[in-house]
């Protein structure tokens, strides 16, 4: 490709709203441009890089028996229509698709509203079969991110994340054992308070104690001796349900964990009117004596005795509220939001909160009655399904975030849009353009991809653009070197330049693209 014909120019300055290094350098290098609605268009350089990644992933999938299907496929519907027998399972299917998410445009491709993706689906007879595919995919991800030379860490749920100061997603990480998960779903070691003999309920006046902090201060007790009530309205199977979530007072609710426990598609905080309608009082509510509501409690609550909870009467609370005696719940599960300072669930080391970006997301495997197969005994059983999604836009941004210097991008061979950036400099006594054209044709016919800067521009401008674009090898063909039957070669990740004979160029480049 001749640079004079390439669509998308380099920029002297980064966009003013760019908060991440990847956004700044991909924009300046002519890879991306912001559009409306928090989205980005990938220009030809970026598309070439993404297509290189797609080709690698397609090879990895096909070599392991994967079969490509069209984008936007409803995988359950496809399975229901085409899978009848256990002999047709397992199946590994994949598609190149698009991820839609909440936009954070200042983060560039980390926060794009839409992003290209690789979606992988496993259809199997059991969850155990799917676990083998998780191991197989782990090998693919490790090798893939290794080729990109980025540090992607595996999360507890089987996905992969890149930890960076401007990632846009909160993660909880253990610095000792490497435990990593999004804060929404991270776990922690919970310590129950010493067991006590159950005491009788006691109603006490607590004026103006609308919050846990105020309540604990008024009664001169630690927050962990209180029960926190959180009221939500959840959409479950197309119906809205009022939900009473109960945690110990020193903990915060993870709405994501609650939604998962409920199987809810949507959830929002309940209004004061909705709280009053079920017989509770905002600021003084508890599940004691409340009927016909869906109660969900954190798994530490049954281990906690004689807590203080609301009395469902303004200005009053109840001492010595105990789960099982005074109220019960439909669901008991982990609802607590893990935070900095809590103990790691694996090694008890203090957890820390970090920022990152999710590269590979995964769904837990599940059996669905919407797609069934007949086993070897003729019995109809639900197909087990698991899915993974690799965000290719974020993968490209992660490379840019990891590989740049003060002058531009330094792209690894696995993702560079072109192997070689060929720079032509005019000569006074030698037809350097003719020599450059011939070298361009020779290199492309040999199998290299070449971005040829054929523009009538100053040498400094050409070198600056080469640094911004970030191809691994820069070849400069000018009069001084040609007089020695050589070209000047500079690797993007070094400061040194070398004169290489024309006949040795291919071997030299091959050695440095490995």
Phi then psi dihedrals of residue 360, to 5 deg: -120, 120
Residue spans of beta strands (DSSP E) within 88-163? 91-100, 114-124, 152-154, 160-163
**Residue 37 has what pLDDT?**
84
> Are the C-beta atoms of 307 and 229 separated by less than 8 Å?
no
Coil vs helix vs strand at 298: strand
CA dihedral (390, 356, 188, 257) in degrees, to 10, reads -60
Q: What is the DSSP letter of 498?
A: E
Mean pLDDT of the chain: 95
Q: Give domain status of residue 179, yes or no.
A: no
Pairing of strands 450-453, 420-424: parallel
Q: How many CB atoms are closer than 10 A to CB 357? A: 26
Smallest CA-to-CA distance from 91 within 387, 392, 390, 369 is with 387
Reported confidence tier of residue 363, pLDDT bands at 50, 70, 90: confident
Residues 324 and 368 in one domain: no
- 119-123, 132-136, 348-352: least confidently modelled range: 132-136
Pairing of strands 152-154, 316-321: unpaired
**Average pLDDT, stretch 47-63?**
97
**Residue 378 has what pLDDT?**
95
Q: Give domain status of residue 326, yes or no.
A: yes
- Residue 310's domain is classified under what CATH number? 3.90.960.10
Q: Give domain status of residue 302, yes or no.
A: yes
Residues 367 and 471 in one domain: no
**Average pLDDT, stretch 385-408?**
97
Say which residues have a Cβ less than 8 Å from residue 143's Cβ, sequence separation at least 6: 60
**Average pLDDT, stretch 329-340?**
96
> Is pLDDT above 80 for 227?
yes
**Average pLDDT, stretch 417-427?**
97
Question: DSSP alpha helices (H): ranges in 376-483?
Answer: 392-402, 432-446, 459-469, 479-482
Q: Give domain status of residue 356, yes or no.
A: no
Question: Is the C-alpha dihedral spanning 120, 121, 124, 130 positive or negative?
Answer: positive
**Residue 176 has what pLDDT?**
96
> Are the C-beta atoms of 392 and 14 separated by less than 8 Å?
no
> Is pLDDT above 90 for 202?
yes
> Is pLDDT above 90 for 228?
yes
Residues 24 and 137 in one domain: yes
Q: Which domain holds residue 498?
A: 420-512
Q: Give domain status of residue 197, yes or no.
A: no
**Average pLDDT, stretch 82-105?**
95
Q: How many domains does the chain have?
A: 3
**Residue 323 has what pLDDT?**
96
DSSP H or E stretch at residue 28: helix 21-28
pLDDT in tens, 456-492: 999 999 999 999 999 999 999 999 999 999 999 999 9
pLDDT in tens, 2-34: 999 999 999 999 999 999 999 999 999 999 999
- Residue 427's domain is classified under what CATH number? 3.40.50.800
**Residue 364 has what pLDDT?**
73
d(CA 372, CA 376): 13
Q: Give domain status of residue 368, yes or no.
A: yes
Residues 138 and 39 in one domain: yes
Say which residues have a Cβ less than 8 Å from residue 502's Cβ, sequence separation at least 6: 439, 485, 486, 487
Smallest CA-to-CA distance from 86 within 371, 333, 276 is with 371
Q: Give domain status of residue 262, yes or no.
A: yes
Q: How many CB atoms are closer than 10 A to CB 511? A: 8
Reported confidence tier of residue 127, pLDDT bands at 50, 70, 90: confident
pLDDT in tens, 147-199: 999 999 999 989 999 999 999 999 999 999 999 999 999 999 999 999 999 99
Reported confidence tier of residue 235, pLDDT bands at 50, 70, 90: very high
Q: Give domain status of residue 97, yes or no.
A: yes
């Amino acid at each position: 490709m001749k640079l004079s014909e390439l669509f998308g120019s380099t920029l002297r300055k980064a966009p003013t709203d760019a908060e991440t290094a990847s956004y700044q350098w991909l924009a300046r290098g002519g890879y991306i441009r912001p559009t409306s609605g928090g989205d980005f268009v990938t220009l030809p350089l970026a598309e070439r890089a993404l297509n290189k990644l797609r080709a690698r992933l397609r090879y990895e999938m096909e070599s392991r028996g994967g079969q490509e299907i069209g984008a936007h496929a409803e995988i359950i519907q496809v399975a229901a229509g085409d899978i009848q027998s256990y002999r047709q399972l397992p199946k590994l299917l994949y598609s190149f698709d698009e991820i839609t998410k909440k936009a954070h445009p200042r983060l560039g491709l980390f926060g794009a509203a839409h992003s290209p993706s690789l979606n992988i689906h496993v259809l199997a007879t059991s969850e155990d079969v799917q676990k083998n595919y998780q191991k197989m995919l782990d090998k693919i991800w490790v090798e893939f991110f290794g080729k990109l030379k980025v540090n992607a860490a595996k999360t507890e749920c089987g996905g992969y994340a890149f930890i960076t100061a401007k990632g846009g997603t909160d993660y909880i990480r253990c610095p000792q054992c490497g435990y990593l998960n999004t804060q929404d779903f991270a776990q922690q070691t919970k310590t129950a308070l010493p067991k006590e003999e159950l005491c009788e309920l006691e109603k006490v006046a607590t004026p103006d104690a609308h919050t846990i902090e105020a309540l604990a201060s008024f009664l001169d007790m630690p927050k962990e001796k209180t029960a926190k009530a959180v009221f939500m309205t959840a959409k479950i199977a197309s119906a809205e349900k009022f939900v009473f979530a109960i945690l110990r007072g020193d903990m915060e609710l993870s709405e994501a964990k609650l939604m998962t426990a409920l199987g809810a598609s949507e959830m929002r905080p309940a209004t004061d009117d909705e709280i009053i309608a079920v017989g509770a009082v905002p600021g003084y509510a508890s599940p004691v004596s409340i009927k016909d509501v869906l109660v969900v409690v954190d798994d530490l609550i049954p281990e906690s005795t004689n807590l203080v909870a609301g009395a469902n009467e303004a200005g009053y609370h109840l001492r010595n509220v105990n789960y099982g005696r005074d109220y019960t719940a439909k669901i008991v599960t982990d609802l607590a939001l893990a935070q900095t300072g809590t103990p790691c669930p694996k090694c008890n080391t203090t957890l820390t909160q970090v920022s990152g970006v999710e590269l590979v997301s995964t769904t837990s495997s599940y059996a669905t009655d919407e797609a069934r197969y007949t086993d070897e005994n003729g019995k109809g059983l639900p197909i087990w399904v698991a899915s993974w999604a690799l965000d290719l836009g974020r993968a490209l941004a992660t490379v840019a975030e990891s590989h740049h210097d003060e002058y531009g991008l330094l792209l690894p061979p696995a993702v560079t849009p072109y192997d070689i950036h060929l720079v032509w400099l005019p000569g006074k006594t030698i037809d350097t353009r003719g020599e450059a054209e011939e070298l361009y044709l020779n290199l492309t016919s040999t199998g290299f991809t070449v971005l040829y800067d054929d523009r009538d521009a100053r040498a400094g401008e050409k070198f600056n653009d080469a640094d911004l674009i970030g191809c691994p090898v820069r070849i400069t063909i000018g009069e001084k070197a040609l007089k020695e039957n050589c070209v000047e070669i500079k690797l993007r990740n070094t400061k040194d330049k070398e004169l290489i004979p024309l006949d040795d160029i291919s071997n030299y480049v091959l050695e440095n693209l490995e």
